Structure 1
Amino acid sequence: MSKDRAPSPLPTVPMDGVDESTWMDVIQKMDEVYTRLIDDEVELEKKNTELEQSQQFIVSVLTSMSDVLVVCDERGLIEQANAALCELVGRREERLRGSSLADLLADEASVQAARDAMDRSDAPRDGQGIELNLLGRDGQAVPVDASCTTRVGPSGRRVGTVWVGRPMAELKRAYHEMRAAHEALKRTQQQLLHSEKMASLGQLVAGVAHELNNPISFVLGNVHALRKYSDRLQTYMAALHAHEPEAVLQQMRQKLRIEHLLADLPSLIEGTLEGAQRTADIVQGLKRFSAMDTEAHAPVVLAEVIERAIHWVRKGRGAAMAVHWQPGPTVTVMGSAGQLQQVMMNLLQNAFDALGQVPQPAVRVAMAVHGDRVVVTVRDNGPGIPPEHLLRIFDPFFTTKPVGKGTGLGLSISYGIVEQHGGRLSARNADGGGAEFVLDLPRMA
């Protein structure tokens, strides 16, 4: 900002001992001082504009805050309050200024707690949390989770306190919303886990049908034989009850082969029981795998889980697959047997799927113990994993299989299961070719 400056008048009456050059120096100095004053005035106006903008910014922030805010001096008198507090207590800020913070509190316990917080000389600089009851606009107590922070002046001396709080009702509502969202997420995750498990189970149907067919056929054949034996025994017993002559009974024994029947009965009954038990074991294993897993963990013999997974996956493949399994020492881990079996089945199925065009497909499964960790590796002799896929292989819904052949969830869910068990699941290309998945789990002491 500039202003017109009037010319400096020259003295009309000469003074003794003062020449014209001296007057010129004086006028020049006056011009410099006047110019400096003008520059200072412009800078002052600029500072005032910036100060007004800063003040408007602070006011807008305080007005938009949903939390209540109160600024008090060292005596506990209110210097400033935001719109949220005014709305909560039903008073205008002009009426609040100069009043005591205690006038806003609903009970003596809150008043005493506020005084203790303001009188503390060792109050933490990041604030201290206090639960207070504010007197609401309807005269009812409003629980508030407040924080009291010391306010320090330019000289470093304590000049008051700043109170920031949020009504408990809002906190409880936010907590319940967060908890509901968490529960919904857990249910969705469990549903995805079960859906992927059922998808894996569907791939095993053909093998399971063949597995069940053998013992059921065996039991059915034995039952037919037992039925024939039962008819013969009934005929012979009817003759006994009719008191037929011994010669007739002897002839019937030979014709009905009663001695052979009696000798064959134990093996028939034992074979039938064995077939029925085998069928029950298969059904129980399928029920255990397809059931929704609970979150409870128990000691699990890892080698047994791996052997069951190998058994079921091989049964579900149309073509024979060579699986080289090196169990290693007996190791126990803490976890869910069903979930760990699902992980192993996913790894094996992915390995088998990668061997479609390999002349002599083979999968190697090995287990080793390294200190308090147990490491299981699943390696195939296929083409390996493309480098651009390595970083995405555990992403949800990522799959390189044709549409309808894979959901893209198997490895992602397996990764999450392993993390829940305190372990790590990684993938890499083996040095000798093929892909290798490494499952690392904590070992039970």
Structure 2
Amino acid sequence: MSTTPRPPLHGLAQIDGMDESAWLDVIEKMEEVYSQLVQDEIALEEKNAQLEQSQQFIFSLLTAMSDVLVACDEGCRIEETNAALRELVGRGDEALRGRHLAELLAGDAHRERLRAALTNAPRRGSTVEIDLLDAQGQPVPVDFNITPRFSGAGQLVGHVFVGRPLGELKRAYHQLREAHEALKRTQQQLLHSEKMASLGRLVAGVAHELNNPISFVLGNVHALQRYTERLREYLGAIHANADADEQARLRAKLRIDHLLADLPSLMEGTLEGAQRTADIVQGLKRFSAMDRGERSEVDLNGVIERAIHWVRKGTAPAFAVHWSPGEPCTIHGNAGQLLQVVMNLVQNAYDASAIRHDPGDDPAPALWVSLVRDGEVARLSFRDNGPGIASEHLSRIFDPFFTTKPVGKGTGLGLSISYGIVEQHGGRLTARNHPEGGAEFVLELPLSSPP
């Protein structure tokens, strides 16, 4: 309010019948009203600025959205769209505003699907997959989420459609599925390669095991073949009615008496070698279910003994394995798979302990194996006298393709596959460095029956 002195208003006051104080009051009120108008105008300008800022923010959000957005009135006529939708259908904002949403759909079937979605859930929203026509007139599947809009009085005034074109997602899913199938094929090939490597170690042990009895049988058969020729010659002379002196001479020359005395031992040795070969094959057949999912009651003592036997016969004849069968530990599982796990742990122990051990230097490679029952769990421990596992490798020891062996000496899949087999049997496989030195692997498997 202004406080500037004003000139006398005697004449004006006399004409209007008002004194000077009344006019001063009128002027003061006018100034108050004018000041209030100025303040209201400033506040209005601030509100307009905030509104423009909010509108710009909302516009930037709509523009940045990758999902398509359509806001329609109650009659499903378009009121607002975002840049993603306009780019998809190839139309501008003016061309879309006021049009019915059904005009953007690809065919009557999708219009009916939209109508049904709006009819069935008008107030709580719904989802529907419909095809929009793109800029080239081609149908594009869009998964729309329909949300109703209400006025301040709670009246339905329209719907908001927010959706994502499924074409790109379907292409990405197809590519992902193809990559997954390729990965599965590669994984099966790698698993097969690792199984073949385990089978190779097993075959090496079997070949060495079979060599002795087969060689023994072959040697006896060759001796029997020679004896047969000599007997045929001697019997031929007898059948030819040779005189007694000739028969005696041939009997001495062909050593018939020695031959007859040697025949029982030859036959016994041949039968023994054949039986030993049959036992080896029969024992191998019990653990030949590598690729079958058959499960049965398996004695861990037998699995451990067989695994140690094959590894030592195949690749580590000088490997000192300290093992004595303990009390029976029977589990329900696949004998072939468990043999593969134990063979892999024994072979790894030999490979690790042989790294730093040279003849005449350090103690020879050795492995200590123990099997104990702990409640309903069988705990199998493998401790070698190698250099142990580096601390940075402990967390990765069971990762696929991780190996510390030289190139060509390991696939990095043995422990990973063993870990998976143990998990399939409901057990656990762990690794650590033993306090007395070397690495220790502990295999825990649930017993098939309580002790």
Please report the TM-score for the alignment, with normalisation by the length of structure 1.
0.72
Once the two structures are superposed, what CA deviation does each residue of 1:316-361 show, in whole Å capped at 9, x if it has no partner?
22533133254543433345x5443333233223334454567484
2:400, 2:91 → 1: CA distance?
Answer: 54
Q: Report the CA distance between 1:48 and its aligned residue.
A: 1.0
2:3, 2:224 → 1: CA distance?
Answer: 138
Q: Where in structure 1 are there 5+ consecutive unaligned residues? A: 1-6
Match of 1:178 in 2: 176
Q: Are 1:341 and 2:353 matched, yes or no? A: no
1:81, 1:264 → 2: CA distance?
Answer: 101
1:225, 1:325 → 2: CA distance?
Answer: 40
Pairs within 5 Å for 1:218-233: 218-233=216-231
Q: Report the CA distance between 1:29 and its aligned residue.
A: 8.8
Match of 1:368 in 2: 373
Match of 1:273 in 2: 274
Between structure 1 and structure 2, the one with the greater Rg is: 2
Indicate how the Cα distance of structure 1 residues 352 and 13 shifts in structure 2: closer, same or farther if over 3 A, else same: farther
Q: Report the CA distance between 1:191 and its aligned residue.
A: 3.6
> Over the residues paired in the alignment, what is the CA RMSD in angstroms?
4.7
Pairs within 5 Å for 1:193-342: 193-197=191-195, 210-239=208-237, 242=240, 255-257=255-257, 259-260=260-261, 263-264=264-265, 266-274=267-275, 276-277=277-278, 294=291, 297-300=293-296, 301=298, 303=300, 304-315=302-313, 316-326=315-325, 328-335=327-334, 337-342=335-340
Q: Report the CA distance between 1:437 and its aligned residue.
A: 2.2
Indicate how the Cα distance of structure 1 residues 388 and 265 shifts in structure 2: closer, same or farther if over 3 A, else same: closer
Match of 2:148 in 1: 151
Q: Report the CA distance between 1:91 and its aligned residue.
A: 6.0
- SS in structure 1 opposite 2:397? coil
8 Å Cα contact 1:299/1:332 also seen in 2: no
8 Å Cα contact 1:117/1:123 also seen in 2: no
Equivalent of 1:425 in 429, 441, 446: 429
Q: Report the CA distance between 1:312 and its aligned residue.
A: 2.3
Q: Are 1:44 and 2:48 matched, yes or no? A: yes
8 Å Cα contact 2:106/2:131 also seen in 1: yes
Match of 1:4 in 2: none
Indicate how the Cα distance of structure 1 residues 429 and 320 shifts in structure 2: closer, same or farther if over 3 A, else same: closer
Q: Report the CA distance between 1:55 and its aligned residue.
A: 0.2
Once the two structures are superposed, what CA deviation does each residue of 1:49-79 show, in whole Å capped at 9, x if it has no partner?
3422430331242xx44xx554444433344
Once the two structures are superposed, what CA deviation does each residue of 1:247-287 show, in whole Å capped at 9, x if it has no partner?
8668756743464465456425423523553675698799x
Indicate how the Cα distance of structure 1 residues 160 and 400 shifts in structure 2: closer, same or farther if over 3 A, else same: same
8 Å Cα contact 1:222/1:271 also seen in 2: no
Higher mean displacement: 226-235 or 201-210: 201-210
1:123, 1:431 → 2: CA distance?
Answer: 69
8 Å Cα contact 1:366/1:376 also seen in 2: yes
2:398, 2:442 → 1: CA distance?
Answer: 13
8 Å Cα contact 1:297/1:334 also seen in 2: no
Match of 2:58 in 1: 54
8 Å Cα contact 1:374/1:441 also seen in 2: yes
- SS in structure 1 opposite 2:305? helix
For 2:117, the aligned partner's letter is A
Higher mean displacement: 9-18 or 223-232: 9-18
Q: Where in structure 2 are there 5+ consecutive unaligned residues? A: 10-18
| Identity in percent | 44
- SS in structure 1 opposite 2:213? helix
Q: Report the CA distance between 1:22 and its aligned residue.
A: 11
Q: Report the CA distance between 1:185 and its aligned residue.
A: 1.6
For 2:75, the aligned partner's letter is R
- SS in structure 1 opposite 2:441? strand
Match of 1:113 in 2: 113
Indicate how the Cα distance of structure 1 residues 285 and 28 shifts in structure 2: closer, same or farther if over 3 A, else same: same
